[in-house]
């Protein structure tokens, strides 16, 4: 099906969930489906930057919050009608799409929200909620007026091409949009590279390839040049795929677009192979990364079993969060020790890594160690000149813990223990990033892309989309950018790993007390409706 069918082509209306009594009026002065609380400080009387009388523009940068009964909190997202008055609305073309004619209740109700935490206590507050993703009965863009663009930023991740494909196909097949541009080379491509047209035919097979057909880069957050390019090209929907640094850039771009009073919907799609973005259940590409990591672990295990006193050492991705290492270890069951950034470890002395290695080699004759790239950086900084260098995205450049640990193990056992060690070091990090996404991630990418398209067409802007407790939701940028999702080493998931590997926890009593104190603070903040400290999100990956 190349084009969306018109209602004239159908003998009788078959889209059962369209309810005109629940739709928006033809002209909506403000998107007030929720009563929001605004502080006086959120309005600035500086007319040249915050209000344009001819456009009816009024800037409000404060989070859109609504509170309700039983401790209900809605953290809403911006809408074009928040700062542009008298925007016309149009019936959603999906009501005439034969593919959805048999779907019941396909449109999302205006009051549908998704709970941040699925587990609550009987007498506790209902907690934070986010607006549920999905198609609305009324849209704020006509199909022929949409000029969309897609850009990928940051490092590679399995599934990037799938997201690109599904945005293009979703816009075309569901909403009849024919003008979609690909911005080449990341943010810098807005003002220094050419664009490429994207059609369903062009993107048909790209999900079978790794990487991104648009190219990518780090940095390039020149908001003025980017928004100038958006204006000059007549773009009115922007889809930006990238990690935490990219999402911060999306937020800045959105604020500049809002300041200028442009009818441009900005949607962010979070991408990180490390799964370190807060709030959402899981980022796309993570399942593929864990699956590919197991291949490397299996190779290390085969090598280790084949030689006397052999250690297979695998370095996996995870700059600040050890989710890939943890889940790959639990999935493989061949790992004897897993080292992650959240759990500091030490080498020498009772309970140290060297003592554990010696014991495992004596018991089994071999062992497998998995280390996340961000683990043990505090140990490396003590032995090397620590220079706080950063890449173009603002990420701190890490020392190579794999090579450092390899040399430390060899030196210790050859000089102090007089034991001949065979050590096989495997670093599959860039191989994992470059593979196509697996079946599970392909489905996730499809849902993410379509949810972003539905949100932009409905006039929402300045949001990122992701699964929250199994339901896709629109999440404000400040929640995505406020912290990083991290493994909680005093939680049951990490305890399961310790049981699987039988490794020492490397925790002393003081560390354990400190983590318990942090967890208590988390509970106190949650009861007060505040965000959790220290990157804890208390959801799906930590059960």
* Annotated binding-site members for substrate: 272-274, 317-319, 373, 430-433
Q: How many Cβ atoms sit within 10 Å of the Cβ of residue 470?
A: 9
**Terminal Cα distance for the chain, rounded:** 43
Q: How open is the CA angle 111-467-429, to the nearest 5 degrees?
A: 165
Q: Is 271 left (phi over 0), alpha (psi -120 to 50) or beta?
A: beta
Residue 528: HSE in the Cβ half-sphere, 13 Å Cα cutoff:
10
CA 83 vs. chain centroid, Å, equals 27
Let me know: does 258 contact 432? Beta carbons within 8 Å.
no
Tokens, residue 305: 């079993």
CA distances to 296, 341, 431 from 428, rounded to whole Å, are 7, 18, 5
Tokens, residue 380: 């490396």
Let me know: does 37 contact 66? Beta carbons within 8 Å.
yes
Q: What whole-number distance in Å separates Cα of residue 187 and Cα of residue 182? A: 11
Kindly write down the DSSP assignment for every residue of 338-349, as one continuous string: EE-TTS---SSS
> Phi first, then psi: what are they for 75, rounded to 5°?
-95, 95
Tokens, residue 277: 């973005």
Kindly write down the DSSP assignment for every residue of 489-520, as one continuous string: TTSHHHHHHHHHH-------HHHHHHHHHHHH
Residues placed in the known binding site: 155, 218-219, 243-246, 272-274, 317-319, 373, 430-433
By DSSP bridging, strand 148-152 and strand 237-242 are: parallel
Let me know: does 532 contact 76? Beta carbons within 8 Å.
no
Q: What whole-number distance in Å separates Cα of residue 452 and Cα of residue 461? A: 10
Q: What whole-number distance in Å separates Cα of residue 246 and Cα of residue 269? A: 10
Smallest CA-to-CA distance from 458 within 126, 9, 21, 135 is with 135
Let me know: does 240 contact 167? Beta carbons within 8 Å.
no
Q: Which of 96, 274, 276, 441 is catalytic?
A: 274
Residues placed in the known binding site for ATP: 155, 218-219, 243-246
Q: What whole-number distance in Å separates Cα of residue 393 and Cα of residue 154? A: 7
CA distances to 85, 237, 292, 510 from 257, rounded to whole Å, are 16, 11, 40, 49
Tokens, residue 106: 């396909």
- For residue 274, indicate whether it is catalytic: yes
Q: How open is the CA angle 334-337-342, to the nearest 5 degrees?
A: 130
Q: What whole-number distance in Å separates Cα of residue 86 and Cα of residue 238? A: 22
C-alpha torsion sign, points 218, 219, 221, 226: negative
Let me know: does 324 contact 317? Beta carbons within 8 Å.
yes
Neighbouring-strand partners of residue 471: 468
Question: Whats the size of the chain, residue-wise?
Answer: 543
Please identify every residue annotated as catalytic: 274
């Amino acid at each position: 099906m190349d084009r969306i069918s018109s209602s004239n082509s159908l003998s009788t209306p078959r889209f059962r969930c369209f309810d005109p009594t629940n739709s928006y009026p033809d002209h909506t002065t403000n998107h007030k489906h929720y009563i929001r609380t605004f502080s006086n400080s959120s309005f600035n009387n500086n007319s040249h930057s915050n209000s344009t009388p001819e456009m009816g523009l009024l800037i409000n940068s404060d989070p859109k919050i609504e509170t309700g009964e039983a401790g209900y909190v809605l953290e809403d997202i911006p809408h074009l009608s928040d700062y542009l008055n008298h925007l016309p609305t149009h019936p959603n073309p999906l009501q005439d799409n034969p593919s959805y004619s048999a779907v019941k209740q396909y449109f999302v109700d205006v009051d549908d929200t998704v709970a941040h935490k699925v587990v609550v206590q009987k007498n506790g507050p209902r907690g934070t909620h986010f607006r549920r993703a999905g198609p609305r009965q009324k849209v704020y863009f006509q199909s022929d007026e949409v000029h969309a663009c897609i850009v990928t930023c940051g490092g590679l991740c399995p599934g990037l091409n799938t997201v690109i494909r599904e945005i293009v196909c979703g816009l075309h097949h569901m909403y009849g949009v024919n003008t979609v541009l690909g911005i080449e080379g990341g943010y810098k491509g807005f003002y220094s590279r050419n664009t490429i047209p994207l059609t369903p035919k062009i993107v048909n097979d790209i999900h079978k390839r790794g990487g991104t057909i648009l190219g990518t880069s780090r940095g390039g957050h020149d908001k003025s040049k980017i928004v100038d390019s958006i204006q000059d090209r007549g773009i009115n929907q922007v889809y930006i795929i990238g990690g935490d640094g990219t999402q911060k850039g999306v937020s800045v771009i959105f604020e500049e677009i809002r300041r200028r009073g442009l009818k441009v919907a900005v949607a962010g799609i979070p991408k990180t192979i490390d799964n370190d973005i807060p709030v959402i259940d899981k980022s796309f590409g993570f399942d593929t990364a864990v699956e590919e990591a197991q291949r490397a672990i299996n190779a290390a295990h085969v090598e280790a079993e084949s030689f006397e006193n052999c250690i297979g050492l695998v370095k996996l991705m995870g700059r600040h969060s050890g989710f890939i290492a943890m889940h790959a270890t639990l999935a493989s069951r061949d790992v004897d020790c897993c080292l992650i950034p959240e759990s500091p470890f030490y080498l020498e002395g009772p309970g140290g890594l060297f003592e554990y290695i010696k014991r495992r080699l004596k018991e089994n004759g071999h062992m497998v160690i998995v280390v996340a790239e961000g683990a043990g950086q505090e140990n490396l900084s003590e032995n090397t000149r620590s220079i706080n260098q950063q890449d173009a995205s603002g990420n701190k450049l890490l020392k190579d813990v794999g090579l450092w640990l390899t040399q430390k193990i060899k030196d210790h056992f050859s000089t102090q223990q007089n034991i001949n060690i065979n050590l096989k070091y495997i670093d599959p990090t860039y191989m994992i990033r470059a593979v196509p996404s697996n079946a599970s991630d392909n489905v996730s990418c499809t849902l993410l892309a379509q949810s972003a398209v539905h949100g932009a067409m409905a006039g929402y802007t300045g949001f990122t989309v992701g699964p929250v407790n199994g339901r896709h939701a629109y999440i404000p940028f400040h929640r995505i950018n406020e912290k990083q999702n991290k493994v909680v080493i005093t939680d049951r998931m990490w305890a399961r790993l310790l049981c699987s590997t039988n490794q020492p926890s490397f925790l002393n009593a003081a560390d354990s007390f400190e983590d318990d104190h942090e967890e208590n603070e988390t509970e106190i903040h949650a009861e007060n409706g505040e965000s959790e400290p220290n990157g804890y999100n208390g959801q799906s990956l930590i059960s």
